[in-house]
Amino acid sequence: MAKQLIVCEKPSAAMKVAYALAEGSVKRVGGRLFPAYSLTRGQNAITVVSALGHLYALDQRSVGWSYPVFDIKWVPINDVDRRMARARAWIDSISKHAEGADEFISACDYDTEGSLIAYNVLRYACRGADAKAKRMRFSTLTKQDLVAAYEGMSSELDATVIEAGRARHELDWIFGVNVSRALMDAQTMAGGCYEVLSAGRVQSPTLYAIYRRENGIRLHVPDPYWVIAAEAEIAGERVPAEYAEGRVLSLSEAEGVTRRCNGADGVVSRVSGRRAVIPPPVPFDLGTLQSEAYRHFGFPPSRTQKIAEKLYLDALISYPRTSSQRLPPSLGYARILEGLGRNRNYAEAATELVSSGRPLRPREGKKTDPAHPAVHPTGNLAEGLGRDDFRVYDLIAKRFMAAFAEAAVKEVTDVEMSCGGDRFLARGEAVLIEGWSRFYAPYSFLREARLPKVSEGDPARMASVSHDAKYTEPPPRFNQSSIIKFMERSGLGTKSTRAEIVDTLYRRGYISGGMIEVTELGAGVITTLKRHFPRLVSIELTRRVEAEMEEIEGGKARREEVMVSTIDEVRETFERMISKEGGMGDGLAELVKAKREGDRTVGPCPSCKTGRLKVIRSKKSGKRFIGCSGYSSGCRFTAPLPQKGRVSVSKRRCKECGYPIVEVRGLGRYVWRLCINVECPTKRGAGRGGGG
DNA sequence: GCAAGGTC
């Protein structure tokens, strides 16, 4: 009887693997905080344990803050990321379960990162078990797939995939950490105050895309064009119509159309009708959920992701970090819909779907994910959700139900009218079958436009025709949703990291605003990188890393060779950078100074009206407060600040008194938005208690 | 203190 240890990527997967493989009962053996399951299958006694994503991370071998650093090693992740403090005890638990085992099996997600996660666990937490470990390969976490993966597991780990994964980690570390340090070193050596600067394979090309868009906007020359709008009178009704040729590029042409047609009689020259079938929207992958929540609620993608992760931990929705738009039948559609039916918000809709008599078959999208289905509700009763949590949940629940509903159908009628040699078009749209749009309301909208019934040859009087001058618009700024779509299109980052990387760009002060603009500092970093490290701002680096990973995976290259040749290439660049560091940092130091100045400027002084309010730290007491830059010319305005927490300036103004608002973070879970006016009416009555 | 990637 063999004692087998199966290593999964995350706790939820470990539980599924355990229950899928068990022939008898499953026993929890890991204690309260650590998931581990004991079961038997055939002659084997199996223990299933779980990693927690990456339990090991790269760190430099040397100590100190010099660069360039090329000598790196894998360490327990709690050594380098204090948010992963749990990892230490977690690894110990895995080691304990490994002691009694004589066979080891990797059952992490069947992708590069998953293969590497299991490899590191087996190698470091299971005393070199990677050498003899086997690999289960599966594409879904269904019982059927997992049993097949167990029965047909390969006799060794996928060594070249693991090597490709290690190469990706090492390349990202070496480029990212060293270039970030180079920027910071150069900046401080040029006399700047200490400031965190960063660069990386994903964040820098993303910033560069925003920077290029900014330049496109600045360099845009508006070209004039004219739009001709008309109101046509057909069958005794006035309907809006547009010029059939679209926009017109000269004023004389526009004037000609208006002169010829305004008030003139014409004729209906063609009527065509068709039915437009509008299928339900596809189920949510994380990116689509993020963009839909941005569209309807204005939530930045990182906020949607955090809310979705919370809903997942509360077992209300499925795993949100998925790129799948598929809902496999094994989810149990009816069970989920019946669960939703217990919620009175969805009772009517869910019941209708279950009892419609039509088979439950969802619309599905093209995108897939090896490890997870599309984001969907679990059917557990969602109660007492906060407003924002509810909105995201509601969107997910309704999107799920909509996927099972009928297609919507519209009747579209195009009416072409001729007025001399000029043609105009009017379009009518009527909803024949609402279908899924009822289930997705209020997030769905089917446009309608009524047209009277007409036939060819009917009179059509152009009751009014006018032209309007317009100018071509510059390309639009990215917003938080479109920049993430850009990253996805360009293959930058993953579904789990894109939103976080955009957040990093904000946190560094490289970008600002909802319609994203590059700050002076962001532009300065791009200019510096382009001069000294052009490769890092180009998405070509990602293409190259992908190509190298493919070569390693295919056995055509070895990780060590790739690393040695890459380091050889970049070593020289770093040496050149160090020798020129002073010059490289000059521009940056100025920009960092300006940024810090901006960061502590609260706004115009409400007292003297000429000075600016700033966050000031008293040299005498060490305490911080808000004071006016006009102090030397006599303005004595001050306002107190809390001495604890991180204070940042916001663009908000108090709704009651119009004074600036500062944000205080790090005192409990919420951001404290504080009006700086001590006499503000919002502060009357209940004062704010100490805690937060 | 720095990347990008996984996870609760």
Give pLDDT tens digits for A118-151: 999 999 999 999 999 999 998 778 788 899 999 9
Q: Which tens digit of pLDDT belongs to each residue from A161-177?
A: 999 999 999 999 999 99
Question: How far is the C-alpha of A219 from the C-alpha of A213, rounded, in Å?
Answer: 10
Short-list A180, A78, A160, CA closest to A116: A160
Q: Any idea which residue has 């990321």 for tokens?
A: A81
Contact A366, A285 (CB under 8 A): no
Q: What pLDDT score does A687 carry?
A: 45
Q: What is the CA radius of gyration of chain A?
A: 31
Q: Any idea which residue has 């970008």 for tokens?
A: A511
Question: How far is the C-alpha of A96 from the C-alpha of A94, rounded, in Å?
Answer: 5
Name the closest residue (CA) to the C1' of nucleotide B3: A176
Domains annotated on chain A, with CATH: 3-157 (3.40.50.140), 167-218+477-588 (1.10.460.10), 224-280+408-471 (2.70.20.10), 286-404 (1.10.290.10), 602-683 (no CATH)
CA of A49 to C1' of B7 (A): 14
The SS3 call for residue A138 is coil
The SS3 call for residue A454 is coil
Question: How far is the C-alpha of A407 from the C-alpha of A439, rounded, in Å?
Answer: 11
Q: What pLDDT score does A157 carry?
A: 96
- CB proximity list for A474: less than 8 A, separation 6 or greater: A216, A217, A220, A222
Name the closest residue (CA) to the C1' of nucleotide B7: A53
Q: Which are the catalytic amino acids of A?
A: 319
Q: What pLDDT score does A688 carry?
A: 46
DSSP letter for each residue of A2-54: -EEEEEESSHHHHHHHHHHH-SS--EE-STTTS-EEEEEETTEEEEEEE--S-
CA of A400 to C1' of B4 (A): 32
Q: What pLDDT score does A669 carry?
A: 55
Q: What are the start-end ranges of the E strands in A160-279?
A: 224-234, 237-243, 265-278
Give me the residues paired with residue A579 across strands: none
Reported for A567-573, long-range contacts at CB under 8 A and 24+ positions apart, including other chains, are A567/A70, A567/A174, A570/A68, A570/A174, A570/A175, A570/A178, A571/A68, A571/A70, A573/A532, A573/A533
Q: Which two tokens stand for residue A332?
A: 């149990």
Average pLDDT of the segment spanning A457-485: 95
Q: What pLDDT score does A410 carry?
A: 96
Q: What pLDDT score does A217 carry?
A: 95
> Of the ranges A99-113, A268-282, A628-642, which one carries the lowest mean pLDDT score?
A628-642
CA of A115 to C1' of B7 (A): 15
Q: Any idea which residue has 């009651």 for tokens?
A: A656
Other CB atoms within 10 Å distance of the CB of residue A386: 9
pLDDT band at A578 (very low <50, low <70, confident <90, very high): confident
Strand B bases within 7 angstroms of protein beta carbons: 1-8
Q: Which two tokens stand for residue A144?
A: 């059927």
Q: What are the start-end ranges of the E strands in A282-385?
A: none
**How many Cα atoms sit within 13 Å of A51 on the Cβ side?**
28
Nucleotide nearest A13, CA–C1', reads B7
Q: What are the start-end ranges of the E strands in A374-513?
A: 408-419, 422-433, 459-471, 511-512
Tell me the pLDDT of chain A averaged across its residues. Answer: 91
Average pLDDT of the segment spanning A245-254: 95
